[in-house]
């Protein structure tokens, strides 16, 4: 017979809710590092907060951004898309790998993106995250290089506003 929610889970939920209020949005990994518990424990707490209406989840590639509300999630996605456009301004084509190289060279972009994903070319979740942002910023890829690498056409005008 289920016993209900333990005090430990309730205290973790309050810690994560405080984290969401201060940070705005976090990933499961970010919350896990802040709390010092396992991924499954953090996911359980985040799902519990979502069920209570105190958190929302937005998927960006293979990464879930957990935010305190929908407006905060939209702002975070707009910020990431704007940084993507700024970093790629002046290029004709872009791939997730090219975007990652440019992010790693740009201090502001590096700070923005590192809040959500590790900036490593070997992390599949990072490449999926960047691919989703490229698709949000520039639409569907114009072609696939080597059969599986998506290539996006970067418009000549860098000052276009795109909504997620």
Which has the closest alpha carbon to 124: 65, 62, 81?
A: 62
User: pLDDT by residue (tens digit) across 135-149?
Assistant: 999 999 988 887 788
Is a pLDDT exceeding 70 seen at residue 158?
no
pLDDT for 92 = 92
- Label residues 11-40 b or e (16+ Cβ within 10 Å = b): ebbeebbebbeebbbbbbebbbebeebeee
What does the chain come to in residues? Answer: 164
* Band (77; pLDDT cuts 50, 70, 90): very high
pLDDT for 164 = 45
Which has the closest alpha carbon to 163: 75, 95, 96?
A: 75
Q: Which domains does the chain have, with CATH numbers?
A: 7-71 (1.10.10.10), 76-153 (1.10.10.1490)
Contact between residue 103 and residue 95 where contact means Cβ atoms under 8 Å apart = no
């Amino acid at each position: 017979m289920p016993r209900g929610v333990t005090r430990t889970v309730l205290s973790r939920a309050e810690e994560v809710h405080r984290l969401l209020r201060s940070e705005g949005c976090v990933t499961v990994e970010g919350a896990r590092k802040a709390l010092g518990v396992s991924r499954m424990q953090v996911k359980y707490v985040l799902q519990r907060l979502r069920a209570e209406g105190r958190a929302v989840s937005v998927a960006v590639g293979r990464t879930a951004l957990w935010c305190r509300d929908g407006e905060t999630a939209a702002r975070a996605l707009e910020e990431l898309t704007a940084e993507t456009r700024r970093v790629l301004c002046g290029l004709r084509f872009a791939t997730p790998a090219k975007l990652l190289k440019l992010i790693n060279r740009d201090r502001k972009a590096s700070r923005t993106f590192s809040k959500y994903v590790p900036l490593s070319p070997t992390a599949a979740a990072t490449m999926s995250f960047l691919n989703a942002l490229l698709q949000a910023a520039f639409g569907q890829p114009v072609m696939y290089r080597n059969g599986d690498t998506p290539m996006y056409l970067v418009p000549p005008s860098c000052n276009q506003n795109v909504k997620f």
